[in-house]
Amino acid sequence: MKILKGKRALVTGAASGIGRELALRLADQGMHLLLADRDEPGMAETARIAADAGVSIATQQYDASITESVSALARAAEHLPGGVDLLVNNAGIAYYGPTDRMSLEHFDRVISINMLSHIRLTQELLPMLLSRPDTHILNVCSIMGLVGLPKVCAYNAAKFGLVGYTESLRSEYGPQGLGVTALCPGLVRTNLFDTALSKTVQDHKNPPRWTTTTAEQVAKAAIKGIRRNRRVVVVEPIAKTLCVLKRFAPGLVDFALHIGRKRKEAKRLAYWAARQTPPPISNDEETREAA
């Protein structure tokens, strides 16, 4: 998609973070916007700032975890004058913590929002995008859609699935002129870490600042990727390094993750042994048993 000015983009997760920065940069490029998010005040603030670029802006509150809400968003996009030319699937949540202690409800929610909602929205809008010239789909994935990391299993699974879906769409419809890009940033300084689901407060950890990049840098790389119809856009030095190592030296990545295995195994067994040990009998219980 070389020409952005005068076209319309649908951006999900537009209330903050990467979604907001993408929306603002697209507006600066002259694109009209349909913003979607569950956070209506945050979305309204994005719309207010983007309006300074002189483009038309529509908003739609939706919940990515509810199929009917995703379908309603698709209908809203189809009923806009001129429809949409660029679909940006960005909405997402995270979970951090040991996978064995993660509830099925949390697992299902992460998969539903980070992968299934994007696939559903794309499937509903695909006929419209295919019927128009010079259209594009940008799926905001993650380096965790390319490299498996510990304590983010559900997030990894969702992003790996979204990368695979994106690659398949590109191979099928790219030759027909539809642009498809997987945006795979590393760790980004957004509120995703603060709002991440976790089992305990102790599981909540913000990464060191030097390992992260900004939403502005990600949005800048994304716009370039859309214009050049890039297959995959990896943002942030550590993410790029992990990607290269995974491709050319996967054994080295696996070795690094297994450092301290015996110590970690002992810690794991101690944790489960403690959970399986019956609680001590109180004095009252001993008295009742003696009676």
Exactly one of 62, 95, 96, 155 is catalytic; name it: 155
C-alpha to C-alpha distance for 166 and 161, rounded to whole angstroms = 9
- Among candidates 114, 131, 269, 102, which has minimal Cα distance to 197? 102
Q: Give the burial string for 16-49 (b: 16+ CB within 10 Å, else e).
A: bbbbbbbbbbbbebebbbbbbbbeeebbbebbee
Among this protein's residues, is 155 annotated catalytic?
Answer: yes
> And the tokens for 70?
């995703």
C-alpha to C-alpha distance for 2 and 247, rounded to whole angstroms = 30
Asked if 38 contacts 62 with a C-beta cutoff of 8 angstroms, the reply is yes
Asked if 66 contacts 42 with a C-beta cutoff of 8 angstroms, the reply is no
- Among candidates 67, 190, 283, 267, which has minimal Cα distance to 75? 67
Say which residues have a Cβ less than 8 Å from residue 12's Cβ, sequence separation at least 6.
19, 36, 37, 62, 64, 73, 88, 89, 90, 91, 117, 118, 121
- Among candidates 207, 151, 156, which has minimal Cα distance to 184? 156
Q: Which residues are catalytic?
A: 155
